[in-house]
């Protein structure tokens, strides 16, 4: 069954290293908690808030060994008062897990974005 795992993390600053480190931490958390195997991944879609433009978070694909997986980046809608420096991702992957068994990862301050999906609260 094709499932989606969502997650978010806040980058410390708008720099290439900060964006890529945050993206890698987020991806590794999703991979580990959901037992995601690269062979079962259909795609990954990142979005960033408008204040992050120093790097594409999709550049993390080589660091995690997913160089052949289709990745895409996009921008979030600039809603006034929204959390800054946020990287979000949606990974589509094949799994036997049911919807309720998928572990979404909203790390750090981004836990407030989806407390209904974040079991770490």
Answer yes or no: 100 catalytic: no
Residue 61 has φ and ψ, to the nearest 5°, of -55, -40
Q: Tell me, what DSSP letter sits at residue 83?
A: P
pTM score, whole prediction: 0.94
Answer yes or no: 76 catalytic: yes
Cβ proximity of 10 and 55 under 8 Å: no
Cross-strand bridge partners of residue 20: none
Residue 78's pLDDT is 93
Report the phi/psi class of residue 115: left, alpha or beta, with left for phi > 0 and alpha for psi in -120 to 50. Answer: alpha
% of residues, the chain, pLDDT over 90 = 93
Answer whether residue 119 shows pLDDT above 90. no
Q: Tokens 């897990």 belong to which residue? A: 97
Answer yes or no: 101 catalytic: no
Catalytic residue among 24, 28, 76, 103: 76
Dump the DSSP string for 55-78.
Answer: S-GGGGGTTTT-TTS-EEEEEPP-
Answer yes or no: 103 catalytic: no
- Per residue in 47-95, pLDDT (tens digit) is 999 999 999 999 999 999 999 999 999 999 999 999 999 999 999 999 9
> Average pLDDT, stretch 93-107?
95
Catalytic residue among 24, 39, 85, 88: 88
Q: Domains of the chain, with CATH numbers?
A: 2-113 (3.30.1330.40)
């Amino acid at each position: 069954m094709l499932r989606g795992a969502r997650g978010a993390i806040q980058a410390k600053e708008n720099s290439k290293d900060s964006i890529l480190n945050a993206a890698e931490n987020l991806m590794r958390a999703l991979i580990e908690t959901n037992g995601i195997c690269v062979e079962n991944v259909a795609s990954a879609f990142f979005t960033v808030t408008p204040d992050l433009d120093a790097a594409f978070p999709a550049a993390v694909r080589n660091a995690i060994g997913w160089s052949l997986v289709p990745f895409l980046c996009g921008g979030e809608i600039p809603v006034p008062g929204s959390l800054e420096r946020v990287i979000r991702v949606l990974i589509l992957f094949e799994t036997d897990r049911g919807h309720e068994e998928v572990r979404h990862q909203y790390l750090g301050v981004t836990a407030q974005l989806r407390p209904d999906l974040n079991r770490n609260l």
